[in-house]
Amino acid sequence: MFEGFERRRISTGEAEIHTLIGGSGPPLLCLHGFPQTHVTWRKVAPVLAEHFTVVLTDLRGYGDSSFPASDASHAAYSKRAMASDVAAVMTTLGFERFAVAGHDRGGRVGYRLALDAPGRVSALAVLDIVPTLDTYGPMTWRGAYRSYHWYFLVQPEPMPETLIGADPDYYLEWTIRSWTALEGTIEEAAMDEYRRWFRKPGAVHAACEDYRAGYTRDMENDQRDRDAGKRIACPLLTLWGGGPTLQKPIGFLDVWKTWADDVRGGPLECGHFLPEELPKETTAALLEFFTGV
């Protein structure tokens, strides 16, 4: 899927991060979300690599990266820890300042990195998310029904791990397909890669820890930054799926403007998986943004 990309496994001290590098030009880091891996960028990365040095990683606990041990604090799977990983990867590759595009959980890692290390992120694109604080805070009963996994995956270990572990393929496939508006856009080869990761021992636990960290450490970090008036310094692009599969009760642009001064973007007519459902439109929007800032 990534012809011409070099694959490396980079140690960050706490984790081993599976990394792909391709193309030439200014550095652009692309981060995936749940329940997927770097494969989510397969339709977008080759075109971006014509203009940028594209770096793809599997976040800790995902894909072919390592699964660090976790504890009751869930700090090992906080977005701060994941942001530290990818920052270390970019340092190892010789990039001190770089652009970031993040989908879903990867977008949360991206904005956390932009808040924690503003000197390192030159521009940030966040796909189909608003900050964790602004997701949990205003969620209504209808939103909780549609986004039930935000409350299911955070339940104490081993309840969700046990239930999902009974048939991980079913849970993965149902989740991805229920969040997709445009049928047939996620081909079997990609689904096979997602299944391969989700079947690994410890993968379901790592995904649950990612969400448990969101419910605890990430919320706390967002709240501290909000209370301190901390803002994202770089230009920010927000894109979201405007199709019928997922109701979007939140005004994405309005929310992000409470976190950053330079905000632009809009919806694409698809479901949650923008890089896979509408790759041409997603690529065009990313190219326009990153080449113009």
Question: What are the tens digits of pLDDT across the range 142-194?
Answer: 889 989 999 999 999 999 999 999 999 999 999 999 999 999 999 999 999 99
pLDDT at residue number 293 = 87
Are 112 and 83 in contact by the 8 Å Cβ rule? The answer is: yes
Q: Which distant-in-sequence residues (6+ apart) come within 8 Å of 35 by Cβ? A: 172, 175, 176, 194, 198, 207
Cα distances (angstroms) measured from residue 39 to each of 64, 69, 77, 104: 11, 24, 21, 14
Which one is predicted more confidently, 242 or 119?
A: 119
Greatest alpha-carbon pair distance for the chain in Å reads 48
Q: Which distant-in-sequence residues (6+ apart) come within 8 Å of 252 by Cβ? A: 130, 238, 240, 265, 267
What is the rounded average pLDDT of the residues 64-86?
A: 98
CB atoms within 10 A of CB 122: 18
pLDDT at residue number 253 = 95
Integer Cα distance of 141 and 157 in angstroms: 24
The pair of three-digit structure tokens given for residue 252, joined into one six-digit string:
């994405």
The average confidence (pLDDT) of the chain is 96
Residue 239 has pLDDT above 50, yes or no: yes
CB atoms within 10 A of CB 142: 10
pLDDT at residue number 245 = 45
Considering the entire predicted model, what is its pTM?
Answer: 0.97
Q: Report, as residue numbers or ranges, the catalytic residues.
A: 104, 272
The pair of three-digit structure tokens given for residue 203, joined into one six-digit string:
């993968």
